[in-house]
Amino acid sequence: MSPSIATNQTILVVGGGISGMTAALEAAECGKQVILVERNATLGGRTALMNRYFPKMCHPTCGLEINLRRLKGNRNVRVMTMAEVSSVTGQRGDYTVTLKLAPRYVNANCTACGDCAAAVDAEISNPYEYGLSKTRVAYLPHAMAYPMHYVLDPSIIGTADAGKAKAACKYDAIDLDMQTETVELKVGAIVWATGWKPYDAAKIQPYGYDRFANVITSLEFERLADPHGPTGGKLLRPSDGKEAKNIAFIQCAGSRDENHLRHCSRICCMATLKQTHYVREAYGESGKSTVYYIDIRVIDRLEDFYQKVQQDATVSFVKSKVAKIVEGKDGNPVLHGVDTEGYHRYATAHDLVVLAVGMEPETNGIKLPEDMLLDSSGFIESSQDEGMFGAGAATSPLDVNRSVQSATAAALRAIQVVHKTAAAEGAK
Amino acid sequence: MADEIQMKTAAYICSGCGLGDKLDIAQLGKIAQKEGKMALVREHAFLCNSAGVQMIRDDIEKEGVTHVCIAACSRRAKTEAFHFPTVAMTRANLREGVIWVVAEGSDHDEVRQEMADDYVRMGCAELKKMKLPQGNPNTTRLKSILVVGGGMSGLTAAFEAAESGYEVVIVEKQARLGGWANKLWKRVPFKAPYADPQDTGVAGLAARVSSHPRIRVHLNSTVAETSGAPGRFTVKVAQESGAVTEEAVGAIVQATGFTTYDIAKLPELGGGQANVVDQAGLEALAQTANGGVLKRADGKEVKSVVFLQCAGQRDESGKHLAYCSGHCCATSIKQAMYFKDANPDTDTVVMYTDLRVPGMGEDFYRSAQRKGVIFTKGKASGVEAVGSSCKVNFKDLILDEDTSLDADLVVLATGQVPSAGVDLDAWNKVVSEAEGGSEAAKQNKSELQKTSILNLTYRQGPDMPQFKYGFADSHFICFPYETRRTGIYAAGPVRRPMDMLQATEDATGAALKAIQAVENASLGRAAHPRSGDLSFPIVRLEGCTQCKRCTVECPFGAIDEDERRFPVFNEQRCRRCGTCMGACPVRVISFENYSVDTVGNQLKAVEIPDEFSEKPRVLILACENDAYPALDMAGLSRTVYSAFVRIIPVRCLGSVNTIWITDALNSGYDGVMMMGCKKGDDYQCHFVKGSELASYRMSKIGDTLTGMGLEPERVSSYEVAITDNERVAKFINDYVAQLVEMGPSPMKGFG
Amino acid sequence: MSDSNKQAIAHYRNNFLKEVEDHVEDGEWVRMCMQCGVCAGSCPFGPHWEHSPQKIFMMIRAGKREEVLSSDSMWMCTSCYNCIVRCPRKLPITHIMHGLAHYAHRLGIAPKGQPTREIARLFWVNLARTGRVNELKFSLAMYFKDGFVQGIKNALAMQGIGIGLMKARRLNPMELLGGHKCKDKDGIHKMIAKAREIEERKQKFV
Q: Which fold, C3-111? A: Fumarate Reductase Iron-sulfur Protein; Chain B, domain 2 (1.10.1060)
Instruction: Round to whole Å and give the CA distance between B414 and B66.
Output: 64
Instruction: Round to whole Å and give the CA distance between A291 and A280.
Output: 14
Q: Which parts of chain B have pLDDT scores under 70?
A: 1-4, 750-751
Query: B538-590 belongs to which CATH class?
Result: alpha beta
Question: Would you say A341 and B400 are in contact if contact means Cβ atoms under 8 Å apart?
Answer: yes
**CATH number for the domain formed by residue range(s) A199-358:** 3.50.50.60
Cα angle, residue C118 at apex, residues C114 and C124 outer, rounded to 5°: 150
Å from A69 to nearest chain B CA?
8
pLDDT class for C115, splitting at 50, 70, 90?
Answer: confident
**CATH number for the domain formed by residue range(s) B1-132:** 3.40.50
- Residue B230's SS3 state is coil
Non-local (6+) Cβ contacts of C3 within 8 A are none
Chain C residue with minimum CA distance to A294: C36
Touching chains, B (3+ CB pairs < 8 A): A, C
Picking from A264, A268, A359 by the largest number of B CB atoms within 10 A of its own CB, the best residue to mutate is A264
Instruction: Round to whole Å and give the CA distance between B111 and B561.
Output: 50
Enumerate the residues of chain A whose CB falls inside 8 A of the CB of residue B418. Answer: none
pLDDT in tens, A143-180: 999 999 999 999 999 999 999 999 999 999 999 999 99
Average pLDDT score over residue span A326-347: 95
Burial class of residue C187, CB neighbours in 10 A (0-12, 13-18, 19+): exposed
Report the pLDDT value the prediction gives residue C7, as an integer from 0 to 100.
Answer: 86
Q: Homologous superfamily of B261-416 in CATH? A: FAD/NAD(P)-binding domain (3.50.50.60)
Nearest to B633 by CA among B522, B726, B725: B725
Report the pLDDT value the prediction gives residue B378, as an integer from 0 to 100.
Answer: 97
Q: What is the DSSP secondary-structure string of C27-96? A: GGGGGG-----HHHHH-TTTTTSSS-HHHHHHHHHTT-HHHHHT-SGGGG-----HHHHH-TT---HHHH
Instruction: Round to whole Å and give the CA distance between B350 and B328.
Output: 11
Question: Would you say A45 and A403 are in contact if contact means Cβ atoms under 8 Å apart?
Answer: no
pLDDT in tens, A368-385: 999 999 999 999 999 999
Domain ranges of chain A: 11-102+180-195+362-427, 115-168, 199-358
Q: What is the DSSP secondary-structure string of B41-65? A: EEEESSTTSHHHHHHHHHHHHHS--
Q: What is the pairing mode between strands A246-253 and A288-293?
A: parallel
Q: What is the rounded end-to-end Cα distance, in angstroms, of chain B?
A: 37
Nearest to C103 by CA among C183, C15, C18, C4: C4
Give per-residue burial for B146-163: e unless 16+ CB within 10 Å, then b.
Answer: bbbbbbbbbbbbbbbbbb
Non-local (6+) Cβ contacts of B471 within 8 A are A301, B418, B420, B494, B495, B496, B497
Enumerate the residues of chain B whose CB falls inside 8 A of the CB of residue A408. Answer: 481, 508-509, 512-513
Q: Homologous superfamily of B145-257+464-522 in CATH? A: FAD/NAD(P)-binding domain (3.50.50.60)
Report the pLDDT value the prediction gives residue A3, as an integer from 0 to 100.
Answer: 41
Distances (CA, A) of B451 to A331, B222, B223, B423, B454: 63, 11, 11, 10, 10
What percent of chain B is modeled with pLDDT above 90? Answer: 94
pLDDT in tens, A228-239: 999 999 999 999
Task: For residue B477, give the nearest of A63, A256, A264 by CB distance.
Answer: A63
pLDDT in tens, B563-622: 999 999 999 999 999 999 999 999 999 999 999 999 999 999 999 999 899 999 999 999
CB contact under 8 A, B396 and C62: yes
**Which 8-state DSSP code applies to residue A30?**
T
Chain A residue with minimum CA distance to B471: A301
DSSP H or E segment with residue B259: strand B258-260
pLDDT in tens, B696-735: 999 999 888 998 899 999 999 999 999 999 999 999 999 9
Task: For residue B370, give the nearest of C15, C32, C58 by CB distance.
Answer: C32
- Residue B615's SS3 state is coil
Domain ranges of chain C: 3-111, 115-198
What is the distance of C-alpha C202 from the center of its chain?
18
| Length of chain A counted residue by residue | 428
Report the pLDDT value the prediction gives residue A428, as an integer from 0 to 100.
Answer: 62
Average pLDDT score over residue span C67-90: 95
Cβ–Cβ contact B396 with C under 8 A: yes
Count of B–C CB contacts within 8 Å?
33
pLDDT at A4 over 80: no
Enumerate the residues of chain B whose CB falls inside 8 A of the CB of residue C64. Answer: 399
pLDDT in tens, B509-529: 999 999 999 999 999 999 999
What percent of chain C is modeled with pLDDT above 70? Answer: 98
| Length of chain C counted residue by residue | 206
CB contact under 8 A, A343 and C55: yes
List, by residue range, all CATH 3.50.50.60 domains of chain B: 145-257+464-522, 261-416
Q: What amino acid occupies position B212? A: H
Report the pLDDT value the prediction gives residue B136, as an integer from 0 to 100.
Answer: 83
What ipTM goes with this model? 0.96
Report the pLDDT value the prediction gives residue A208, as an integer from 0 to 100.
Answer: 97
Kindly report the average pLDDT of chain C as a whole number. Answer: 90
pLDDT class for C204, splitting at 50, 70, 90?
Answer: low
Count of A–C CB contacts within 8 Å?
65
CB contact under 8 A, C62 and B369: no
Chain C residue with minimum CA distance to A338: C41
Question: Would you say B119 and B98 are in contact if contact means Cβ atoms under 8 Å apart?
Answer: yes
Report the pLDDT value the prediction gives residue C12, as an integer from 0 to 100.
Answer: 85
The torsion defined by the Cα of B239, B245, B248 and B250, in degrees rounded to 10, comes to 0
- Which residues of A lie inside 8 Å of C (Cβ-Cβ)? 206, 252, 256-260, 294, 319-324, 336-340, 343, 345
Å from C9 to nearest chain B CA?
17
Residues 64-103 of C with CB under 8 A from B: 64, 89
Cβ–Cβ contact C38 with A under 8 A: yes
Residues 632-671 of B with CB under 8 A from A: 633, 636-637
Burial class of residue B599, CB neighbours in 10 A (0-12, 13-18, 19+): buried
Name the H helices within A111-237.
Answer: 115-119, 160-168, 218-225
Q: What amino acid occupies position B160? A: E
Query: A11-102+180-195+362-427 belongs to which CATH class?
Result: alpha beta
| Length of chain B counted residue by residue | 751
Non-local (6+) Cβ contacts of C90 within 8 A are A258, A259, C84
CB contact under 8 A, B376 and C89: no
Å from C102 to nearest chain B CA?
24
Enumerate the residues of chain A whose CB falls inside 8 A of the CB of residue B629. Answer: 61, 65
Task: For residue C59, give the nearest of B366, B369, B399 by CB distance.
Answer: B399
Question: Would you say A20 and A68 are in contact if contact means Cβ atoms under 8 Å apart?
Answer: no
Chain C residue with minimum CA distance to A255: C88
Nearest to B594 by CA among B574, B616, B615, B568: B574
Å from B378 to nearest chain C CA?
12
Quick one: chain C helix, strand, coil %, rounded to 5? Answer: 65, 0, 35
In this prediction the pTM is 0.95
Report the pLDDT value the prediction gives residue C203, as an integer from 0 to 100.
Answer: 67
Q: What is the DSSP secondary-structure string of A374-419? A: E-TTS-EEEETTS-EEE-GGGTS---HHHHHHHHHHHHHHHHHHHH
Task: For residue C32, give the nearest of B366, B376, B403 by CB distance.
Answer: B366
CB contact under 8 A, A63 and B363: no
Give per-residue burial for B39-52: e unless 16+ CB within 10 Å, then b.
Answer: bbbbbbebbbbeeb
Average pLDDT score over residue span A32-58: 97
Report the pLDDT value the prediction gives residue A2, as an integer from 0 to 100.
Answer: 39
Instruction: Round to whole Å and give the CA distance between A394 and A192.
Output: 7
Burial class of residue B106, CB neighbours in 10 A (0-12, 13-18, 19+): exposed
Enumerate the residues of chain A whose CB falls inside 8 A of the CB of residue C37. Answer: 319-321, 323, 337-340
Query: B608-751 belongs to which CATH class?
Result: alpha beta
Chain A residue with minimum CA distance to B359: A264
pLDDT in tens, B182-234: 999 999 999 999 999 999 999 999 999 999 999 999 999 999 999 999 999 99
Phi, psi of B251 (to 5 degrees): -155, 165
Q: What amino acid occupies position A282? A: A
Report the pLDDT value the prediction gives residue A1, as an integer from 0 to 100.
Answer: 34
Enumerate the residues of chain B whose CB falls inside 8 A of the CB of residue A302. Answer: 324
Instruction: Round to whole Å and give the CA distance between B629 and C204.
Output: 79
Report the pLDDT value the prediction gives residue A346, as an integer from 0 to 100.
Answer: 97
- Residue C138's SS3 state is helix
Q: What is the DSSP secondary-structure string of B481-532? A: T--SSTTEEE-GGGTS---HHHHHHHHHHHHHHHHHHHHHHHTT---TTSTT
Give per-residue burial for A272-296: e unless 16+ CB within 10 Å, then b.
Answer: bbbbbbbbbebbeeebbbbbbbbbb
**Which 8-state DSSP code applies to residue B465?**
P
Question: Does A199-358 match A11-102+180-195+362-427 at the fold level?
Answer: yes
Average pLDDT score over residue span C127-153: 87
